[in-house]
Amino acid sequence: MKRSLLASALAAVLLLGLSAGFVFNEGTHAHARRTPHARKVSKDLISRARNGRGSDLVKVIVQPNDAWNSGSDLELRYAGGRGLRRFNNFNHRVVTLSANAALALAQRSDVGYVSIDKQVRTLGHLTVTTGAEYVRGSGGPGSGLLNGNGIGIAVLDSGIDTSHVSFKDSANQSRVIVSQDFTGENRTDDPYGHGTHVAAIAAGNGEVSCGRYTGIAPAAKLINLRVLNSDGIGSTSGLLSALDWIISNRAQYNIRVVNMSLGVAAVESYKTDPLCQAVRALVNAGIVVVAAAGNHGRDSEGNKIYGRIHSPGNEPSALTVGAANSVGTDARDDDGMASYSSRGPTRSFWEDEDNVKHFDNLIKPDLVAPGNKIVAAESFQNHIVTTNPQLDAQVSNIPARKMMLLSGTSMSTPVAAGAAALMLQANPSLTPNMVKAILMYTAQPLAGYNMLEQGTGELNLEGAIRVANLVRTDLSASTPLGAPLLTTTELPVPETDIAGYTFSWSRGLMLSRTWVAGSNLIAKYQRIYGTGFLLSDGVITGDGVITGDAALISEGLNFGTQIMTSSGVITGDGVGILNVSDLLADGTLNEGDLLSDGVITGDGVITGDGVITGDLILQAQMAEINGDNTPMMPIEIDGGGECSGN
């Protein structure tokens, strides 16, 4: 009886709260009257009520604040909330309510934010051109072969075909040490075909075709967390469950790297996006999270566009990776950007009570890696190749040795994830921020492309390992700002030679809305390299002047005031295309504003129905494969026996 009364009372409160925030006319549409509470609700949830669908049941993610208690969970159930789900490491709740009830819920003082549980989808010379081959024996004293051994890489994707030979170790045992399903299909194989390919790029053993298609960290352990179903679709809550599982199990499986070759249209600011918040929690726990930038760098007519970075790639703590085009060669002098790779700035936003949009406007991606026409493992009879047989690479006729050809930032992301694994094997004391900083500092700026396209440039593993091996292993929260970062006073030569081409390192970092350059980034310890910080913490902006907080960033560094194109030498050289002050000013870059050689699409444009598209867009891939005049990689049929040149 008491429960019934409580439920009735709470339902009345919810209805009263709803009428306080929204006024419905006598027609079929609901019209929102703005209150401060509207800032606590995702825009797509408000749109659902406006479009006459307020009575529809919708699964939402509730972000409580400190006032939430165990009684609040009971109240949700008594008020008709169905399927309430909690997490072990995030203070989020997932519950199914009517859209109207969800809007009213946001008005409660113990609720911080409410958003819809969105759908999720997927978005051979590789080791030479990235520098992985050059560092195999350079893991530092006593470390042996640098191949990712002992490092756990969690792959959040469509599953892994564990029968594929690419995932066997030297004893013919699977390196996929655990598999979990978060889709509800109760299977962990890969009927869709995306996750197997991604996992092999990060950690394929190269057994097929005599090592031609070896992954970046071929001895790393793989943690298969299936968040995309047989159609390549998942949900934000499924992703949150997988990330929650990682935090709880990271020590058992030594999970140091997470690969997310997926994403959803980034509409909500990273400050309220539950997926971004979960990524931040993992990074603060010492895990490198690598996220795809997205494949929306051009419109349907092939025009260059800006502002389409996916979530969680819009999260500042994530290592966000775009796609470079290595045009099928090992040398780096002909590398450029893949035209489909999403460009910054991030256009996720929040709205105030006056309907003014406040865009995040972060510089992303952080760097780029080869992502065009990558050959890697093909799962058994998968959907992608079955419906697109031209993507079979014709490497072998044996199912467990078949390889497929894909392009996208989904492919460049595991290149960076594998690189992070090698760095952590070389120096396990590196923090996620340090891994990210070293990768950006040693990247190769690609001539003719700006920072919103490439970040600091193309990943250079040879340089990154050289620096990682020199970083002190005794750094801690008590290490003073400006203390020596390296074990030597002689800085490494900031250039790398790959396949006979020598290039300079960027010697800079992206810091959310600006950049910083200078040798002190590796000569001196920066407090922002610790856990619990963003690399952008300590950057002070005001009146168009950008300086560093002396408590977090040492002196002697150059802070940028322009977003630059690169002449291919160091970060910040070339021609400015945009004032940093324009990124700092809320709402300055509006939808359709011309940005140098492209157009800002901005304004939180949602493509499709808000599905996480994960960066496997077959139309974009096929256009790139068929229309960019890049030569195909040499392919030979593998008979499946001992390697003898095939």
Catalytic (active-site) positions: 157, 194, 410
Nearest to 153 by CA among 417, 429, 437: 417
Q: CB–CB of 446/336 below 8 Å?
A: yes
Helices (H), 99-152: 99-105, 126-130
State the greatest distance between any 2 C-alpha atoms of the chain, in Å, as a whole number. Answer: 81
Q: Measuring CA to CA, how many Å separate 25 from each of 11, 28, 31, 299, 493?
A: 22, 8, 7, 38, 69
Strand 336-337 with 319-325, pairing: antiparallel
- CB atoms under 10 Å from CB of 531, counted, come to 13
Give the span between the Cα atoms of 590 and 34, in whole angstroms: 22
Give the span between the Cα atoms of 40 and 593, in whole angstroms: 28
Main-chain phi, psi angles of 498, to 5 degrees: -130, 125
Give the span between the Cα atoms of 158 and 614, in whole angstroms: 10
Give the span between the Cα atoms of 475 and 70, in whole angstroms: 40
Q: Tokens standing for 519?
A: 């040798």
Q: Which residue has the tokens 């200078």?
A: 518
Q: For the packed helices 194-203 and 409-426, what is the interaxial angle rounded to 10 degrees?
A: 30
Give the span between the Cα atoms of 265 and 611, in whole angstroms: 7
DSSP state of 264: E
Number of residues assigned to the chain: 646
Torsion sign, CA atoms 340, 385, 121, 258: negative
Main-chain phi, psi angles of 405, to 5 degrees: -115, 120
Side-chain-side CA neighbours of 472 within 13 Å: the count stands at 17
Give the span between the Cα atoms of 291 and 65, in whole angstroms: 27
Strand 176-181 with 93-98, pairing: unpaired
3-class SS letters over 225-273:
EECCCCCCEEEHHHHHHHHHHHHHHHHHHCEEEEEECECEECCECCCCC
